Structure 1
């Protein structure tokens, strides 16, 4: 069954899903924002495929008082290889559309899924280390308090409200995954229709 060819409309969706991922090189993938009475307009840090941007210096200045590490590119070794991981997945997605085989589409979807899971796990581990491993000589110490930012959504940290979630590039990649889910669901219903029409057929 997995050797079946896919039709032109599904090939188009697979190709679009692959090409959309190119935007990861030009748009931020993730964002972390902070709001407090002294920062009502909010502080925002954007995480790109190979760099950081936004109010990183101000956030470092604020977090220094509670003993958190300085945020810098060196904290994210992923920046050195994510550009190649994305390039491989994009190229495979284009190849999947060209060869029009189901096994390639399944593989492409698995790659995007593993990438998403890997990013979430990586973000959680970074956030845990960042929020728990504090400088014991920090000016402000709250016994038993940790400052791990939320993985997704909102969380109160002292007088700050923190938010973490996908940015433009992250949402586009999620949309690529949705397009592939649509393709896979079409495979399922195609097979179901064929089976109903030919109950004794064996693929």
Structure 2
């Protein structure tokens, strides 16, 4: 059980990588932009991959009526998400320490994983809602008013995950370093659960 507790602590601490590295990345490439434009989504705000990327993306979006990329203080998520991640990391460390000391069941490791998964799904759902609004709520007075073949206004919603063609732009949305650290950390908590269960079954014989 001690090994399981240690792995649980390590997995939980990996979540803290989100305070240093971006969670997600969206890149926009087009023939007129040999160097793609990009933005990194952090726990506490959105930053350009390069110095003027946000400014350039906002400039392009202006022509089709999209809103400017929000600042951290304009979205409640950027004040809540850091607290959630810090709280879950500390909770996971506490569970790991108690598991190491044999004070709680290995089932708490799985409980933490389930709770973190639910919070992660809710976070992705919220992020997708923001992308939908960002790409669909267009200014009717925009310079360019493009429509679908059926006459409905065209949506410029970036993909939540993967690649999508938006006009002449190739848009790619993928996890960044912080996101991968979070996924690895969550996987390690499953490993901790498996080791804890294995130890419990062995000692029960």
Q: Could you tell me the TM-score, scaled by structure 2's length?
A: 0.86
Residue equivalent to 1:107: 111
Q: Alignment partner of 2:164: what SS?
A: strand
Of residues 122, 140, 143, the one that matches 2:144 is 140
Q: Alignment partner of 1:141: what SS?
A: coil
Q: Alignment partner of 1:155: what SS?
A: strand
Q: Which has the higher contact order (CA 8 A, sep 6+)?
A: 2
Structure 2 unaligned blocks of 5 or more: none
Dislocated runs of 4+, deviation >6 Å: 191-195
Q: Alignment partner of 1:114: what SS?
A: helix
The reply to whether residue 10 of structure 1 matches residue 4 of structure 2 is yes
Residue equivalent to 2:26: 32
C-alpha distance in structure 2 between counterparts of 1:27 and 1:47, whole Å: 9
Q: Alignment partner of 2:141: what SS?
A: coil
Residue equivalent to 2:67: 69
Per-residue CA deviation, residues 65-121 of structure 1 (Å, 9 max, x unaligned), is 111111122443101111211111011011001111324312221232122212210
Q: CA RMSD in A?
A: 1.9
User: Are residues 75 and 156 of structure 1, via their aligned partners in 2, closer, same or farther at CA, if it must alter by over 3 Å?
Assistant: farther
Q: Could you tell me the TM-score, scaled by structure 1's length?
A: 0.86
Per-residue CA deviation, residues 116-137 of structure 1 (Å, 9 max, x unaligned), is 2122101110111111111111
C-alpha distance in structure 2 between counterparts of 1:75 and 1:148, whole Å: 19
Q: Please report how far the alpha carbon of residue 183 of structure 1 lies from its aligned counterpart in structure 2 after TM superposition.
A: 2.4
Of residues 187, 195, 203, the one that matches 1:178 is 187
